[in-house]
Amino acid sequence: MNSFEPLKPGDEIRVVAPAQSRRHGLDRQHQRAQERLESLGYKVTFGKFTNSVFHQGTAKAIDRASDLNDAYRDKNVKVIMAMQGGWSTNEVLPYIDWGLVKNNPKPLIGFSDITVLVNAIYAKTGVVGYLGPNYHTVGSMLEWRFTFENLAATLRQEPDRKFVKSKFWRVWSDKKRRQTKPWKALQTGEASAILVGGNLGSFYLLQGTEYQPSFDAKFILAIEDDDEAGKYTVREFSRRFESILQLPNVRKNLQGVIIGRFQPGGKVSQFDIESIVASKHLGDIPVISGVDFGHTLPLLTLPIGGKITMSVTEKVVSLIAGDSK
């Protein structure tokens, strides 16, 4: 399944900052991100306001939206990447020219608070985006090859790509290398449907707005949460998940659930995850946990608004971007 034309050497990637602006002190990391993307033959450019700070580490909402609109308007730009996550992406939604986005479809890539934007773009225009690394994440040294290779495969639009787990993972705070456990099958089954979701705290912000994806057709839900709630992370994750399940048509059309990896600071155990899933009475749908997305590294690049195929048995978990063959 191709959601956009594969990038060719010389194609342009535009970096914008719909959440936080470029952070001081990360110059070398940003330089590595640019060098790595340019090593694939692509050109990297930046929005006008990516360095601007108005409040809480961001530019004015109208300026952030202006950079987005400019990126969609510019015919030379083939892919848009978010500088990084943050807390205020939803402020830009009223200022986006949705007709412009729909008439100039191109993918936006990012995670964390960028969950708001990739899902809103899909809801308003049907344009597929990607839950994947932010620009500054591409420049990280932590398990970077896995993240970068998955992003590169997406930019090349490799068809019906099978996702595989990482060998190791880390968090920014302690950088301790941990061995990745096999993705856990919590419920078995098969599903093939459009993927929505991402960071649960950010996805939650779309409820009741015109920017929330419709649940009127079959879909698979990807969810993860950060550790900002500390010892309450388990409770916050469970009740936010429940709030999604109570929305109209969600239980009717939910085909599968993909749960990301939690940060150690959230104190979320495997028992907690399994008990939460069991408490939701999700029916006969596949559910897996521990997948390589969330607020740890490395990261997969998952299509929001694109098709995902899950095949889950007690021993084998298969996750494919597109239709299984």
Which one from 21, 143, 202, 295 is the annotated catalytic residue?
295
Which one from 30, 91, 143, 224 is the annotated catalytic residue?
224
- The neighbour count for residue 320, using CB atoms within 10 Å, is 18
Backbone angles phi, psi at 13, to 5 degrees: -110, 125
- Say which DSSP state 182 is in: P
Q: What is the secondary structure of 37-101 as a DSSP string?
A: HHHTT-EEEE-TTTT--SBTTB--HHHHHHHHHHHHH-TTEEEEEES---S-GGGGGGGS-HHHH
Q: Give catalytic status of residue 112 as yes or no.
A: yes
- Look up residue 22 and give its two tokens: 């470029």
In the block, which residue shows the tokens 């034309």? 5
| Amino acid identity for residue 114 in this structure | I
Which one from 112, 140, 166, 289 is the annotated catalytic residue?
112
Contacts of 278 (CB under 8 A, 6+ apart): none
Per DSSP, the three-state class of 220 is strand
Nearest in space to 184 (alpha carbons), one of 264, 262, 274, 272 = 274
Where are the strands (E) in the chain, listed by range?
12-16, 43-46, 77-82, 108-110, 129-131, 161-163, 168-169, 178-179, 184-187, 189-199, 219-224, 254-261, 287-294, 302-304, 307-312, 317-321
Give me the torsion for CA of 157, 158, 159, 165, rounded to 10°: -110
Q: Give catalytic status of residue 281 as yes or no.
A: no
Known catalytic residues?
A: 112, 224, 295
